[in-house]
Amino acid sequence: MNYIKENNVRLDFLSLHNYAGTASGNLNQGKKFSVNSWLETQERYAAVIAKTGFEDVELIIDEWGMAAQGFFNIEECPSFIARENEVYSSYYVKLIYKILEKGWNISKLLICLSGQHEMVTDFSGFRNFFTLNFFAKPIYNAYVLASKLHENLIEAKYDNENIYMIPTKNDKDEYAVLLSYSSEYFEEDLPEIYEEIAFDADITGKKMTVYCIDKNTTNPYRLYQKKGITELTDADIKELREEGNIKPIAECTASDKIELKLTANSVYLIMID
């Protein structure tokens, strides 16, 4: 980068990898998944970039993850089961929130999926969007929900430190609000709460659509776990594929507010149009 600056070379974008300084070694010794670990790694990148005067250059994170080692599964690291469930989707939404809060010029978050070709069973903890039998994982559906956000960020006010809300709006006065409810280390014992979401604008009479990813919704692994399946039947495969097919949990005419039940590591998208 010093060479680029000193020789006035055109720089269109910077491409970076970030795996939060997390891997099987420190996870097996007690380290926990945390977005703060990802941010600390990015801060080090940002310091180098700022030192060379390229802080306004577009950043593309062309590989990222909660942890490195896509070729490792739960046999090498039991913590990698989080790649199969609602922890990863919640992590992703929280990460988007934190990146926006930091003001970094990151245009793309391209998740790394290497290692998936080594799967021989479903829910084995490899780094992928789909399981061996094509059950869509929560992280895949979190990407689907994030793709529905609009181009304009708007303000949101709330006082719960475990809620991470990304409210957006387009030029047609349509809203898309994405949120994650999680603790720093994504513990499962975070208390269940009910939260009212109110809009300053009059949304009465508009169409409201609500999507959810949590322990009981859009979560093939948790359904597999709950049913105690030991050997998949054709009926099981059909049911688990349907579970991974994200669909609204509510479609209705909007009133001035909506109440959501937030459970540990849940993700919601509210769309008003």
DSSP-H helix ranges across 137-253? 138-146, 220-227, 234-244
User: What b/e sequence results for 204-236 when a residue is b if at least 16 CB atoms lie within 10 Å of its CB, and e otherwise?
Assistant: eebebbbbbbbbebbbbbbbbeeeeeeebeeeb
Mean residue pLDDT across the chain: 95
Instruction: Note the pLDDT of residue 117.
Output: 85
Instruction: Note the pLDDT of residue 13.
Output: 96
- How many alpha carbons lie under 13 Å from residue 100 in its C-beta half-sphere? 16
pLDDT tens figures, 79-124: 999 999 999 999 999 999 999 999 999 999 999 998 888 899 999 9
Q: CA–CA distance from 193 to each of 6, 134, 167, 198, 261 (Å)?
A: 55, 33, 20, 16, 6
Q: Return the DSSP state at 150.
A: -
CATH number at residue 24: 2.60.40.1500
- Alpha-carbon span 54 to 1, nearest angstrom: 9
- Alpha-carbon span 3 to 6, nearest angstrom: 5
Q: What is the DSSP string of 62-96?
A: EEE-SSS-TT--TTT-GGGGGGGSHHHHHHHHHHH
Give the predicted TM-score (pTM) of the model.
0.96
pLDDT tens figures, 155-209: 999 999 999 999 999 999 999 999 999 999 999 999 999 999 999 889 999 999 9
The answer to whether 179 touches 193, Cβ cutoff 8 Å, is no
pLDDT at 256 over 80: no
Average pLDDT over residues 119-142: 96
Give the chain's domain count. 1
- Alpha-carbon span 31 to 22, nearest angstrom: 8
User: Which residue range(s) make up the domain with 26?
Assistant: 2-272
Q: CA–CA distance from 32 to each of 21, 45, 47, 97, 117 (Å)?
A: 11, 22, 25, 20, 26
Instruction: Note the pLDDT of residue 92.
Output: 98
Average pLDDT over residues 40-65: 95
- Alpha-carbon span 5 to 16, nearest angstrom: 18
- Please, which residues have CB within 8 angstroms of residue 54's CB and are 6 or more apart in sequence? 1, 4, 5, 11, 14
Q: Return the DSSP state at 210.
A: E
